Amino acid sequence: MMRKKHFILLLINLLLVSPAFAQLAKWQSGLVIDEFVVSNPPFPESHAATIVETPTGLVSAWFGGTKERNPDVCIWVSRQENGKWSAPQNVANGIVSETLRYATWNPVLYQIPKGDLLLFYKVGPSPAKWQGWLKRSSDGGRTWSAAQSLPEGYIGPVKNKPVLLANGNLFCPSSTEGDGWKLHFEVTSDFGKTWRKVGPISDGKGLNAIQPSILSYGNGKLQILARSKNRALIESWSTDNGETWSPLAKTALPNNNSGTDAVTLKDGRQVLVYNHVLPPGELAKGPRTPLNLAVSKDGKSWSAAVILEDSPISQYSYPSVIQTSDGLIHVIYTWRRQKIKHAVIDPAKWKLKPIENGVWPALEGYEAPVAKEGAKE
């Protein structure tokens, strides 16, 4: 309650002193918490965050260090207790031997129902040469097991969370970048003890897509939405619990070649968090601002709900989104490559406007800032 009051006071102050923020606030109905996970992280760069609800509270993780790809980049974890995030804990590194060390990448958290908390991450000099690793925690992320390597050729969920299907299969959405961008799934029926693959479902020669999210519609019907180099989000559909998939196709929503995430809500609606940015001209890449939240009932027609961030400074990106047991929506994301931001949204307070022809709807009095900084990888 105190944090909500502080946020409201901050919002009022910004409305009084900042016309730009006053405009943006019109798109932030339902945003009840807006905070940094760590105000002053002990490293210059933070990126690729993930969030999960555990029986003991929220847990977040991300990679941080001097700079992406630098060997000093490690996996950091923070837990939320009594409404406050703990200081970041270094839980994994890329030390191979006394003379060889690689960067760590893209952590993904998953809470086994009535079981361990899983932490997937990657180690390697580049995405094309990743090795997948897994750690387990039995106490909500306070302590972790020794690192376990995934089978050769497996990297786990590449960016976005696994989805547990009704048949007991844990589907990990994954992708590779070494020989063209290809989508596949890594599937385990025993929470990481044994594995098999589905796909790749793309050949890397047509549409270029990676980092999918899985959405569920019941009765074995699934949808993926994925990042692409094709100026649009890419989709594919399955009607048999993910064993086979339709050919990749462009959606009507733009993509700036940056990561997205999505989640199926308890009421059956779908939520997507992404940069609603059509790159200029014929470019595949665009600024990573604004950061938007859209809602759909069928995965085809989407409505604009919230703009989480927007400013002339880019890099609000790589979201992870979940719905917690209380019905609220939590989004965690990269803030200017410097910090990790946490936003909480109450879906009961949304004011939805249909997205038509891939264009974020106009809102009287709101003019989006023009980004001055180009997008980074």
- % of residues, the chain, pLDDT over 70: 90
pLDDT for position 61? 98
Q: Does residue 360 fall inside a structural domain?
A: no
Is 337 domain-assigned?
Answer: no
b/e code 280-297 from CB counts within 10 Å (16+ = b) = eeeeebbbbbbbbbbbbe
Identify the pLDDT of residue 15.
42
- In this predicted structure, what is the pLDDT of residue 252? 97
pLDDT at 200 over 90: yes
| Residues 274/233, Cβ–Cβ less than 8 Å | yes
Is residue 7 in a domain?
A: no
CB 341 within 8 A of CB 37: yes
Letter for the amino acid at 217?
A: Y
Say what the pLDDT of residue 24 is.
82
The pLDDT value recorded for residue 312 is 87
pLDDT at position 366: 54
pLDDT of 376 reads 45
Is 377 a residue whose pLDDT tops 50?
no
Average pLDDT over residues 52-73: 98
Check whether 19 has a pLDDT greater than 80.
no
Q: How many CB atoms lie within 10 A of CB 323?
A: 19
pLDDT in tens, 137-183: 999 999 999 999 999 999 999 999 999 999 999 999 999 998 899 99
User: What is the reported pLDDT for 25?
Assistant: 83
**Nearest in space to 210 (alpha carbons), one of 199, 195, 196:** 199
Predicted confidence band of residue 129 (pLDDT cuts 50, 70, 90): very high
Of 63 and 82, the structure prediction assigns the larger pLDDT to 63
For the segment 249-275, the average pLDDT, to the nearest whole number, is 98
- The answer as to whether 102 is a domain residue is yes
222-239 pLDDT tens trace:
999 999 999 999 999 999
Q: Is 254 in contact with 276 (CB distance < 8 Å)?
A: yes
- Predicted local distance difference test score (pLDDT) of residue 365: 52
Residue 32 binned pLDDT confidence (cut-offs 50, 70, 90):
very high
Query: How confident is the model over 352-371, as pLDDT tens digits?
Result: 999 999 999 986 555 555 55
Greater confidence (23 vs 284) lies with: 284
pLDDT of residue 94: 97
What are 69-85's pLDDT values in tens digits? 999 999 999 999 999 99
Nearest Cα to 352, choosing from 315, 319, 300, 304? 304
Calculate the average pLDDT of the chain.
Answer: 92
Q: Are 260 and 272 in contact (CB under 8 A)?
A: yes
Structural domain contains residue 211: no
pLDDT at 334: 98
Any domain includes 48? yes
Nearest CA-CA partner of 104 in 58, 139, 59, 135 = 135
Q: Do the domain assignments include residue 90?
A: yes
Domains in the chain: how many in total? 1
Residue 84 sits in which domain range? 42-149
The mean-pLDDT minimum among 100-109, 186-195, 307-316 falls in 307-316
Q: Please report whether residue 72 resides in a domain.
A: yes
When pLDDT is averaged across residues 201-212 and rounded to a whole number, the result is 92
